[in-house]
Each structure stands twice: as C-alpha cells, then as structure tokens.
Amino acid sequence: MLSSTDTRTPPSPAFLEAFRASADTNGRMPFGQFMALALYHPTLGYYRRDKKRVGYGRGTDFYTASTTGPLFGELVHAACRSLLGKEKMADTTFVELGAEPEGSILNGVQHAFGATRTIRIGEPITLTGKCVVFSNELFDAQPFRRFRFEHGSWRELGVQLRDGSLHETLVPLEAIALPSVLPACAPEGYQLDLPLSSVTLAEQIAAQPWTGLFVAFDYGKTWRELLDATPAGTARAYHRHTQSNDLLARPGDQDLTCHICWDWLAETLRNHRFANPQVESQEAFLIRRAADFLAKTVTAEATHLSQRKLGLLQLLHHLGQKFQVLWALREK
C-alpha cells in the first residue's frame, strides 16, 4: 500500500486541474495514466519541466552513469567500437535517445562516429541508415500499469482525487481489459508493476528502417523474477536522492519508475531481426566490451587515486551490478 497522505506536499492547483480534466466522472484514472500525466504532461510533467534532475548538486533527484562526466561516454564509445568493428564507425550515426536537456554522453568525448544525433524526451524518434541507438535509463521511465491479486483475481490499481488529495484506488473490473501476460493465479496480495509501455517504445525503435547496434543501459528483471521475487512490485519514487514508496506525492516534482522486463524487450528485438539479444550486468558489459580502454585508463591512473579512477569504480562496482545492458546487432 502507498504511504499515508498526511505528510504529503499537496499537488499543485495546476496539476489538480489537469488531473480532473483527464479523470473519469468519479475523479479516477488507472495508475499508468496518472504516471503519464505526472511525468510527461507538456508543461507540468517531471520530464518536461526545465529543471536539473540528474547529478549531485542541490535540487537534483538522482544520479546515473552519465554523472561521471565524459568517462561514461568514453566507455560506451569503446564498447561500440568493439561490437561494431573499428572500420564501421565512420559510416555510423550515434543516436542518443532521451538525453537530459543540453546533455549528451558524448559531450567532451573524442569519437570516431560519422555523425551524432540527440533525441530528447518529447521529440519524435526517427531512425534510418546505419546507427548505434543508445539509451541510458529511458525504458524504466515509461508509464507502467499496476496490478494486485485479490480474492482470486487480478485488480488494476488506479488513482482517485478525493477532498483535494490523491489516493490509491481500484479500477472497476468492467473498465479495463486485463493484459494477457498476467498469470492465472498468484499469492494473495501479490503485486505486479507491468512495464508495458517500455515494450511499445522498443517496438517503435526496432520497427524503423535502420541497421546497426541497439544498446540500452537500464535496470530490470526477468519475467520469472517479476513473477516470483517481487511480491510488493518494483515501483518507487525518487526525490532529492531519496527513494520512496509514496508514488502519489508531489506529482510533477518527483521521478516515478519500475523495473523493466528484459525478456520482453529482447523478444521485441528478435521479432525485428536483431541477432541474439544479450543482457549483461553493466560491469560485465564494460569489462568485456571496453577492455582495451579500461586497461589503458587503469594503467595511466595506477599511481594515484584520481577522479577518473573513482569514476571507474562507481561505474563498474557501485552501479555495475545495479544496472544491466541489453544489446543486439541487426545487419540488414
């Protein structure tokens, strides 16, 4: 269950107005619709507002691999060169999806790509020709649906506006179609947060006429793990570097996320002729695919504890097991 509303920051009047405009006659909507509103509303959404979200500075909410500066981009570049082959780099466009405003992981990085593109959140995704299509924590930020197994059946969780506050509610059974992926039965109270929109995004990317390398850094689980090992679901909120279970607090001013399902994304890639999609821990991916770069960097920094060495430790160890990488090649 979500935490009490007693200590919540009330939603802004503008958000409440937008919520009422999208809700049903009972002031209610499924959680996925609420999340889309809270994250992607054109002016009120968390990812559409002009604010700094990533980093260690005041007012930021979380940090990612890109927080280490150019080092992450250098590692990604080295891994792409290893997977594609050095000779193909000059004919390839590096396309970064969902980068933060004014940011790109190749900022400050000497690279061998023929061209680069940055497609930010809210911009149309168009892909053609020879590409590396890269994302970092993009798929986990897609709206998801929430379900709980109660009294022998699955019920979808939603959000209702009552007395000026947002509350968790159940969506009426007649108002929804249950996703076919839900198992026939589950332990009483088992909760599933289904990242279905992440599959829609993967389908949109993979269906376009491009060839080359898909590489997505993110965090997720297998479908079996989601079914067996996460009885409370995987949804959470982030605000000022603090994780919370109160998904309804401060809408538009905190991040909402859940674990993606790697099996679903890999299957989507296979369905579009990507050969043998692989999921590796971030640590394993970088060690295996950027080995030469790592060896040179470690050798150059061997005599002192530099910022680059600290960055490597963070990317390989602190974040190395928390995050995974899905990658696959499509030749034609």
For residue 159, is pLDDT > 80?
yes
* 317, 283 Cβ separation under 8 angstroms: yes
The pLDDT tens digits of the residues spanning 251-283 come to 999 999 999 999 999 999 999 999 999 999 999
Main-chain dihedrals φ then ψ at residue 31, nearest 5 degrees: -60, -40
- Residue 111 near residue 93 (C-beta atoms within 8 A): no
- Would you place residue 311 in the very low, low, confident or very high pLDDT band (cuts 50, 70, 90)? confident
Tell me the whole-structure pTM to 2 decimals: 0.91
pLDDT of residue 306: 76
C-beta neighbour count of 266 within 10 angstroms: 19
- pLDDT for residue 122: 85
pLDDT in tens, 166-197: 999 999 988 888 999 999 999 999 999 999 99
* CB burial string 169-196: b at 16+ within 10 A, e below: bebeeeeeeeeeebeeebeeebbbbbbe
Non-local (6+) Cβ contacts of 5 within 8 A are 165, 166, 167, 248
pLDDT value at position 62?
Answer: 58
Model pLDDT, residue 61: 54
Q: What is the pLDDT of residues 54-108, one digit of tens each?
A: 666 666 655 565 666 789 999 999 999 999 999 999 999 999 999 877 778 999 9
Whole-number Å distance between alpha carbons of 321 and 53: 23
Q: Which residues make Cβ contacts (< 8 Å) with residue 207, sequence separation at least 6?
A: 272
- The partner residues of 280 in beta bridges, in order of sequence, read 325
What's the token pair of residue 257? 């996320």
CATH of 54-139+196-219+260-332, one of 3.30.1370.60, 3.50.50.60, 3.20.20.240, 3.40.50.12710: 3.40.50.12710
Averaged pLDDT of the chain: 91
pLDDT at 20 over 60: yes
- Residue 298 parent element (H or E): helix 291-300
Domain(s) labelled CATH 3.40.50.12710 in the chain stretch across: 54-139+196-219+260-332
